[in-house]
Structure 1
Amino acid sequence: MIQTTYFKTKKVCKVKFSFNGALAEKVELFGLNNDWQTPVVMTRKKDGSFAAEVSLPNNSKQEFRYLINGTDWVNEPDTEQSWNEYGTTNSVINL
C-alpha cells in the first residue's frame, strides 16, 4: 500500500510504502529516483508488515520493486505497471 503526503511549501512528496509479507524476513525497496543499486530497507512493524517513508520529488514518475528475503522481486499490486529491460514489470507511481 502507498500513501502520499504533499506539502504546499516543499517540492517533495512524502511517500509511505507498506508491504504485508507474512513469510518475509527482510523487505527492501529498489528503484526510487532510478537508483537500482541502493535499497531502502523497510522496517518490520509489530503486526508483521514492513514500512518505509521516503521523500520524492513532486511531478516525478517513480518505478520500483520490492525485494523479499534477498531473492524474490515483487510489485505493488495496486499501481500501474511498466515493462523493464529484463522482460518483467516494475511498479509505477506518478507524483
Structure 2
Amino acid sequence: MPITKQYLKSRPECKITFVVPAKEASKVEVAGDFNDWNTSSLKKYKNGNFKGQLNLPVDKEYQFRYIIDGEWVNEIEADAYKWNDFAATENSVLVV
C-alpha cells in the first residue's frame, strides 16, 4: 500500500497520494488526524487499486488508518506506528 509524497515548492505543503490495492473490496476510506478522523473515500480504479490525494502542511506527523469494507487496517509502509489507547491498537504514522 504505497504512499507517495510530493513537496510543493510554492507552499509549505506536501501532496500525499494514498494507493490501496484491494481488488475484492467494494469501499476503501482513510481517516486520521488530517480529517479529524472522519472518513474520506478513495476512488476505485479498474486495476483494483483505490486512490486518493490531499495536501498536508509540512513539518508535522499525522496518525491515520484505512477502512476497507468496514475493517480498520494500517498502512504496511507507514513511516512509523503509534499506540492508540482509545482503539487499543497501533495507528499508522505519516511524517511530512
Do both share a fold (TM > 0.5)?
yes
Contact 1:34 1:63 in 2 (8 A): no
The reply to whether residue 23 of structure 1 matches residue 24 of structure 2 is: yes
How many positions carry a matched residue from both structures? Answer: 93
- Once the two structures are superposed, residues 5-52 of structure 1 have per-residue CA deviations (whole angstroms, 9 ceiling, x without a partner) of 00122011100000011221000000142611x211100011011000
Higher strand share: 2
- Which SS does the other structure have where 1:63 is aligned? strand
Alignment gaps of 5+ in structure 1: none
The RMSD of aligned alpha carbons is: 1.1
2:82 corresponds to which letter in structure 1? Answer: S
1:13 counterpart residue number:
14
TM-score, scaled relative to structure 2: 0.90
Displacement over 2 Å in runs of 4+: none
Report the Cα distance in structure 2 between the residues aligned to 1:90 and 1:34, rounded to whole angstroms.
Answer: 15
Identity %: 35
- Which SS does the other structure have where 2:76 is aligned? coil
1:77 counterpart residue number:
76
Alignment gaps of 5+ in structure 2: none
CA apart distance, 1:83 = 0.6
1:27 corresponds to which letter in structure 2? Answer: V
Contact 2:7 2:14 in 1 (8 A): yes
